[in-house]
Amino acid sequence: MADDTVARQGSGHSSGQAARRGPEPPDLSEKGGNKDGQPQHSNERLFMQFVAFGGCTDPAPLANDLERARISGVLYEDANDPRGVGLLTFNETPDYFLDRVRPVLNGPGFSGLALKPEYTMLGRTYSIGYEPDLPEVLLHRPKRTVLNPAWKWAVWYPLRRAGKFAQLPADEQRVILAEHGTIGMSFGVGDYAHDIRLACHGLDRDDNDFVIGLIGKELYPLSALVQTMRKTQQTSLYLERLGPFFVGRALWQSVQ
């Protein structure tokens, strides 16, 4: 009788454990607006990495190395360092930076240069939640922007928001972000500047939140855009850190 009681107690305990549910795994997909009446979800995103070097007196051989290796990216001449260069590369998988880009950077051309780790940036494209075409936003538009042969000038920089921004109500956050978005769209409509926005949470040595790229035909509008953004609530009240800024002009752009 005692053994039977123990058995029944153990059986009930096991079924109770089986019925108890733990936390659900998070949905990590990017989400957009409805398309053909259906919500959009995507697990595709573009990773972009920027690295800068000093000690380069002739960047042309570097461009040849990148071309031969069929690297997807852009090589910039540093406007603030007469022997500086910057390299932007991108792919849908981060393995690309180790399997394809790393061997080129350890080759004869790049390995003789001095890495500037303060300019190293790694980020991923992301959605806000209402985009009408997720693949366009996450994959195609960023590539077209950095590879446009008419848009040679670029300013790349990281930023970190102050923690108090995350504590604001969602509606208030949207108003603050919309102010930034409206300014960016107005510069884009005028073909003055086109932006790349990447999330870099946990990917940045200095714990930044985002990587920003401003791309355009001329340098002055890119500077003017940063100046205009200074007056917004997000920049003036809710940014903890901004920069350093890399300013460069494209010397070489891949075909893809």
Q: Is residue 18 part of a domain?
A: no
Average pLDDT over residues 28-54: 87
- 3-state SS, one letter per residue, for 229-244: HCCCHHHHHHEEEECC
Q: Is residue 115 part of a domain?
A: yes
Tens digits of residue pLDDT in 173-227 = 788 777 878 888 999 999 999 999 999 999 999 999 999 999 999 999 999 999 9
What is the pLDDT confidence band of residue 29, given thresholds at 50, 70 and 90? confident
CA-closest candidate to residue 83, choices 116, 58, 50, 105: 58
pTM: 0.87
Q: Is residue 143 part of a domain?
A: yes
Which domain, by its residues, includes 54?
42-160+193-216+243-253
Q: Bridge partners of 109?
A: none
pLDDT for residue 11 is more than 90: no
Q: Is residue 33 part of a domain?
A: no
Total domains present in the chain: 1
Q: Is residue 91 part of a domain?
A: yes
Q: Is residue 79 part of a domain?
A: yes
Q: Is residue 60 part of a domain?
A: yes
Average pLDDT over residues 97-116: 97
**What SS3 class is residue 161?**
strand
Q: Is residue 177 part of a domain?
A: no
Measured between alpha carbons, how far is 220 from 200 in angstroms, rounded to an integer? 27
Q: What CATH number has the domain bearing residue 85? A: 3.30.70
